[in-house]
Structure 1
Amino acid sequence: MFQRALASLSEERFAIPLEEIKQRHELPDSKYLELQGMKIHYRDVGQGPVLLLLHGMFSSLHTWNDWSDILSKHFRVICLDNPNYGLTGPHPKGVYKHMYSDFLNEFTDALGVETCMVAGNSLGGWMTWDFAARYPHKVSKFVLLDAAGFFFIPPATISSLAVPFAGWSASRMKIPRKALYGSVRSLYGQPDRIKKEQLECYYDMMMRPGNRASAARVVRYIRNNVGFDTRPLKNITQPALIMWGKQDAWIPVAHAHRFAKAIPNARTVIYDNCGHMPMEEIPEQSAADCLAFLLEK
């Protein structure tokens, strides 16, 4: 009876079955790759130089759908559900120092990619500059969109995941759709721009088995390390484009200028009337700026 009680306490509740989420959100060109004990969900579209796209916290590769459509006319665009998120789901070891940059090195090796350009948003921005710093032979240029790096105070909905047992609690409670939809809308400078299907995708990916607990582990790791180690930024020599929404309510626009100052070969583009995710909120404009930068000799 005691063991049964322990098993009951450890059970995840209210998760949406993985197969159900796949039926809703797999794309016609979805692919999977077995790596580090996970089945990595990714897309690989277009031809030409490789452009790797990395999403942010609680997100998925779907955040890049518009960019993929636009930029795959010029590049081989690869986007993936990062470990601990999306259809990929939890990393067997959670998160640890250099986990993401080492994973990206193995992921690109597995796809036969010797060198690439990279763009990353929010947490994916941290992955981008850490990958560029630690594996400079792999990254020729990179783009940071409202990237994580310098200290900021996250919204309460995020910081609350760092408290003890937060992952356990989150994986046993039903997250109200309205609450999550509100959090996603707060990422936009103009919330009416977000589509209902995008909100539904965010909710379903959060409720994928294991994702609530794994997201909490990522937040706790960042909290325990007091943010990110930005010292490697000064050693980055690759050209960088820093994009930022002026109305970003999560990571202040002042951080764009801090990145530009820290990275020797960087420039910035600031968007009025845009929030935390320019690639979603203003895809045509932000993709055009990215394209011009990446094609520049």
Structure 2
Amino acid sequence: MGMVQVNGVSLYYEQYGKSLAEGKAVLVLIHGYLSSTFSFRRLVPYLEHDYTILSLDLPGFGKSEKSLTFVYSLHNYGKLVLGFLNRMGVKQAVLIGHSMGGQIALQSALQNHSMVKKVVGIACAGYMGPVKRSLVRLSYIPFFSRMLKFYFDKKDIAASFLEITNDRSLITKEMMEGYLKPMYALAFYKSLIRLIRHREGDLSSEKLKTIKQPVLLMWGDKDQIVPPHVGERFIQDIPRVEYKVFQGAGHLLPEERPEEIANRIRSFCLNNHGDD
């Protein structure tokens, strides 16, 4: 666990498993929207014995800086992940992204074909288009950050977790607190406003077709946030793709099926995909 400066912003990261000096394969975990490294806590134990694992909080989220100068576009997030790898001395890694983190991993893959060896997208966001202009205009209203905080404070949190998690037994006080804790500070909402303004549309079909790395996509068939049909569109666009659907699982696959996901990741990493 520590902080590191990358591209002018302070990033919080966690490291597990093998040391970087051992030269083992490196997995980089990238969380999704309104999330943090906390979302991978159930997945890490199934992978840390075989890999070096780096999990980071993206700017604006978790314990990373809530910067008011960082450009919160998906492209720049992808660039930041590459900068993080460079800062940590990692020459090549497998990027594993959940939801928005999957889209960021694909951005990184497009930007550097050698540093990003493979990509794993878990309920990977895509085909959503840019943020609505009406919401962007609203973001310029004075005290909009306080309005956002008020909205989230009043939101029925338990109902929200039921939407993203198919297994209700997982929804505990500890789980909800882990996800919600970073959202208590007003600074979080100020950076969220910048994400609303800066977030461009997701990668186009034309861009996705140029991804050279092998990509593994995993979905829950009950996902209400990023439905499986998004994965089916990815299959048509990404040249070297594997697709796995888990029955009876929702959007938070790292919470619901950590062991099964880890096994799939391990097999994907071991497969040379005709590269050797």
TM-score relative to the length of structure 1: 0.81
67, 71, 78: which is aligned to 2:43? 67
In structure 2, the partner of 1:84 is: 60
CA distance in 1, matches of 2:65, 2:161: 20
Which residue is equivalent to 1:243? 218
Q: Is the 8 A contact 1:187 1:275 kept in 2?
A: yes
| Equivalent position of 1:46 in the other structure | 17
Taking the aligned partners of 1:258 and 1:58, their CA distance within structure 2 comes to 24
Contact 1:60 1:85 in 2 (8 A): yes
Structure 2 gaps of 5+ residues are 19-23
Q: Give the C-alpha shift of residue 160 in structure 1.
A: 9.0
| Secondary structure, counterpart of 2:91 in structure 1 | coil
Within-5 A mapping of 1:245-260: 245-260=220-235
* Identity fraction in percent: 25
Q: For each residue in 1:213-250, what CA deviation from the matched residue of structure 2 results, as whole angstroms up to 9, or x when unmatched?
A: 2223323433xx44444432111121111100111111
Q: SS state of the match for residue 136, structure 1?
A: coil
**Which residue is equivalent to 2:7?**
36
178, 185, 188: which is aligned to 1:211? Answer: 188
Distance (Å, rounded) in 2 between the aligned partners of 1:38 and 1:221: 16
Residues 243-296 of structure 1, C-alpha deviations (whole Å, 9 max, x = no match)? 001111111111111112211110100011111121111111111111111122
Which ranges of structure 1 fall in alignment gaps of 5 or more residues?
Answer: 1-29
Match of 2:145 in 1: 168
Q: 1:98 aligns with which of 75, 87, 91?
A: 75
Greater Cα shift, 115-124 or 164-173: 164-173
- The Cα shift of 1:190 comes to 2.2
TM-score, structure 2 as length reference = 0.86
State the distance in 2 between where 1:201 and 1:161 align.
28
Q: CA deviation at 1:171?
A: 5.2
Is 1:287 aligned to residue 257 of structure 2? no
The letter of the residue matching 1:43 is E
Residue of 164, 181, 188 corresponding to 2:165: 188
Would you say the 8 A contact 2:9–2:70 is kept in 1?
Answer: no
Alpha carbons 1:89, 1:211 under 8 Å: kept: no
Check conservation: 2:38, 2:179, Cα contact below 8 A: no
Report the counterpart of residue 125 of structure 2 in structure 1.
148
Describe the shift of the 1:238–1:169 C-alpha distance in structure 2 as closer, same or farther (beyond 3 A).
same
Give the direction of change, closer, same or farther, for the CA distance of 1:162–1:276 in structure 2 (3 Å limit).
farther
**Structure 1 residue 168: deviation in Å?**
2.5
Are 1:278 and 2:253 an aligned pair? yes
Q: Secondary structure of 1:176's partner?
A: helix
1:89–1:210 Cα contact (<8 Å) kept: no
Task: Provide the aligned C-alpha RMSD in A.
Answer: 2.5
Q: How has the CA–CA distance of structure 1 residues 218 and 228 changed in structure 2, closer, same or farther, with 3 Å as cutoff?
A: farther
Question: What letter matches 2:116 in structure 1?
Answer: V
- Which residue in the other structure is 1:56 paired with? 32
The number of aligned residues is 263
Does the 8 A contact of 1:245 with 1:272 survive in 2? yes
